[in-house]
Amino acid sequence: MSAFQVLVVGGTHGNEVNAPWLIENWEANLNLINTYGVNFSTVIGNPNARNQNKRYIDRDLNRCFHNDLLNNELLHDFEIHRARDLLRDLGPHSSNPNHLVIDCHSTTSSMGSSLVIYGRRPADLALASLIQAKLGLPIYLHEGDASQHGFLVESWPCGLVLEIGPVAQSLLDFNIVFKTRLVLEVIFQQISYIQQRMVNFPKKLIIHRHLKSIDIPRNSFGLPEACIHPDLLGKDWLPLAANTPLFLRPDGFIYRYEYNDSPVPVFINEAAYLEKKIALSLTKKEIWPFNHIWKDTIFELINSSI
Amino acid sequence: MSAFQVLVVGGTHGNEVNAPWLIENWEANLNLINTYGVNFSTVIGNPNARNQNKRYIDRDLNRCFHNDLLNNELLHDFEIHRARDLLRDLGPHSSNPNHLVIDCHSTTSSMGSSLVIYGRRPADLALASLIQAKLGLPIYLHEGDASQHGFLVESWPCGLVLEIGPVAQSLLDFNIVFKTRLVLEVIFQQISYIQQRMVNFPKKLIIHRHLKSIDIPRNSFGLPEACIHPDLLGKDWLPLAANTPLFLRPDGFIYRYEYNDSPVPVFINEAAYLEKKIALSLTKKEIWPFNHIWKDTIFELINSSI
């Protein structure tokens, strides 16, 4: 086994500028982030897109980590090559192996700081529960969405996406940088506690489980014919009551939420999701009892790789 | 003379999506904006950039309206061609002449609704003073900035830039759309009052005159080494006292404003201006008495073109 090492990624999307800026400052000044003695490496996910100040060159890098794409030798999109390179150089089976990845993003949605996990991997759930117990932040479980797959973190044995918002694309904002650093330090702290076997896991985990995404109403040409209703802006993480206004057409017509199931909306008005036909996503808030398998799995991952 | 006509432009920057969205809805439903019977035409400034969801293809269209560029036949940047086409099709000397242009923009800065004028053209000052008297919005007089020229409105006899913020790039926001529509309706209303010779000009005009722009502190590689200080975010239009924090480095070092002249900052943290090396601009607030030449000029422009 190789020594346990954490990979911190920023700039997986080239126009999310705060995390890569923090990472470059951190590389120049290693005291900037307290890693509690945990080994780590850093990388800018998509430096070419960042240089061009756009989300991606050919396709979304954070949808490229899927074997159907990675193994298809006919595909030469820039981001597929980049995904292969990242795995070759920093993947779990590379010569510089990383066992856990933190992929730092920002969002134009008013979601504050949150974690996103993909599927129900025990090690992800264990780490997320520690961060939630320390910081209280919400966790969005992205699963059961056939239209979205190939996320970067899925190619490492354990991985969390960190989402901080709201911040416009391409805009440096110290509050976003500060919050990114805060969560990273707590992650390193908890990992070091696992290494020292002095960690306290919580008894439960609060999850916001993905139900479905809702597109903006479009006309027959596919163009948006309404906006998010202004009253809904900033209401991420707040249950959606029946009859709540969702969208507003310029002529004043209001589209309302029709059901009584009180889902919890997230990613309301994320600018990058217009092309993915996602105006907002709906989740169900669930409280899960902590499962000892989660703990055993992350202990095995972190403490057996020495 | 040809009949007086107003040109409304949206999407001069392709990733400012709210005004062009309003314009397309307006074209489909002419009742959407009350134009008080004033003739008008509409156009999407940079449709190709809009389709690519970026500010511009080759260069900023709103810096291309300068004779040195327009008349240089060696230049074939996409936006220079576009500027020539707009003038050929919709310019004051075209077969579909427009005498006054409103160029609708949005900004990531928390500036609310404001007008920008370039230089001190009497007709611009007259129209801006009417809008300010009706809505109270601030006016940024951009002049004396050798690094910035070739603005679209300068190629028409009278023209205002409308800036509404804050809104992220690429993001539809009904509040921005609504405010854009409100200012457009007041502009049309005041023009119709001039046509009916029933307009009341105010006695004074409050101007925020451009002094200079300040770049973000950069390291020896030219990369930003600090952010706007979080306490400064959202403080557009508020006088800057000596010793106020301007920028914050990740290591905690604070850059402060050093002088006692209490300038008024605008465009604090406009995402598109990082490449222009503008972290914020400083202005001086001035109260100008209304000059009857302004009135005579706009009356001549609007009422003699019938």
pLDDT tens-digit profile of A83-98? 999 999 999 999 999 9
Report the C-alpha gap between A91 and A83 in whole angstroms. Answer: 10
Query: Shortest CB distance from A271 goes to which of B169, B233, B275?
Result: B169
- Contact residues on chain B for A177, CB-CB shorter than 8 A: 227, 250
Please say if the pLDDT value at position B144 is more than 90. no
Please say if the pLDDT value at position A273 is more than 60. yes
Residue A200 vs residues A127, A197, A282, A300, B213: alpha-carbon distances, Å: 11, 9, 31, 16, 52
- pLDDT for res B235: 97
Name the pLDDT band for B1 (thresholds 50, 70, 90).
low
Please say if the pLDDT value at position A305 is more than 90. no
- Contact residues on chain A for B25, CB-CB shorter than 8 A: 225, 250-251
Provide the residue count of chain B: 306
A228 interface with B at CB cutoff 8 Å:
yes
Asked whether the beta carbons of A238 and A268 are under 8 A apart, the reply is no
- Contact residues on chain A for B225, CB-CB shorter than 8 A: 25
**Rounded average pLDDT over B128-148:** 94
Please count the CA atoms within 13 angstroms of the CA of B225 that sit on its side-chain side: 14
Please say if the pLDDT value at position A52 is more than 80. yes
B227 interface with A at CB cutoff 8 Å:
yes
Name the pLDDT band for B304 (thresholds 50, 70, 90).
confident
B216 interface with A at CB cutoff 8 Å:
yes
Report the C-alpha gap between A139 and A118 in whole angstroms. Answer: 10
Beta-bridge mates of residue A112: A165
Q: Which of A21, A34, A164, A171 has the most B C-beta neighbours within 10 Å, making it the best mutation to test the interface with B?
A: A171
Tens digit of each residue's pLDDT (9 = 90 or more) over B60-70: 999 999 999 99
- pLDDT for res B156: 98
- pLDDT for res A104: 98
CATH of A213-270, one of 2.70.70.10, 1.10.1070.11, 2.20.25.160, 3.40.50.720: 2.20.25.160
Please say if the pLDDT value at position B236 is more than 60. yes
A250 interface with B at CB cutoff 8 Å:
yes
Tokens encoding A208: 């916001």
- pLDDT for res A304: 84
CATH of B6-203+290-303, one of 3.40.630.10, 3.50.50.60, 2.30.40.10, 3.40.50.720: 3.40.630.10
- Contact residues on chain A for B174, CB-CB shorter than 8 A: 227-230, 248
- pLDDT for res A302: 96
Tens digit of each residue's pLDDT (9 = 90 or more) over A189-210: 999 999 999 999 999 999 999 9
Residue B108 vs residues A180, A250, B102, B164: alpha-carbon distances, Å: 21, 22, 20, 9
- pLDDT for res B264: 98
Which range, of A29-43, B143-157, B200-214, averages the lowest pLDDT? Answer: B143-157
Tens digit of each residue's pLDDT (9 = 90 or more) over A141-162: 999 888 889 999 999 999 999 9
Q: How far is residue A56 CA from its own chain's centroid?
A: 16
- pLDDT for res A148: 85
Helix (H) or strand (E) segment spanning residue B127: helix B122-135
The ranges assigned to domains in chain B are: 6-203+290-303, 213-270
- Contact residues on chain B for A216, CB-CB shorter than 8 A: 172
Phi-psi region of B158 (alpha: psi -120 to 50; beta: other; left: phi over 0): beta
Dihedral angle, C-alpha B84, B24, B270, B218, nearest 10 °: -50
Q: Chain A residue closest to B270 (CA)? A: A171
Contact state of A171 with B108 under an 8 Å Cβ cutoff:
yes
A51 interface with B at CB cutoff 8 Å:
no
Contact state of A169 with B168 under an 8 Å Cβ cutoff:
yes
Which range, of A163-167, A273-277, B29-33, averages the lowest pLDDT? Answer: A273-277
A54 interface with B at CB cutoff 8 Å:
yes
B68 interface with A at CB cutoff 8 Å:
no
Can you give the pTM of this predicted structure? 0.93
Name the pLDDT band for A1 (thresholds 50, 70, 90).
low
**Rounded average pLDDT over A184-189:** 98
Tens digit of each residue's pLDDT (9 = 90 or more) over B3-53: 999 999 999 999 999 999 999 999 999 999 999 999 999 999 999 999 998
Q: Chain B residue closest to A31 (CA)? A: B251
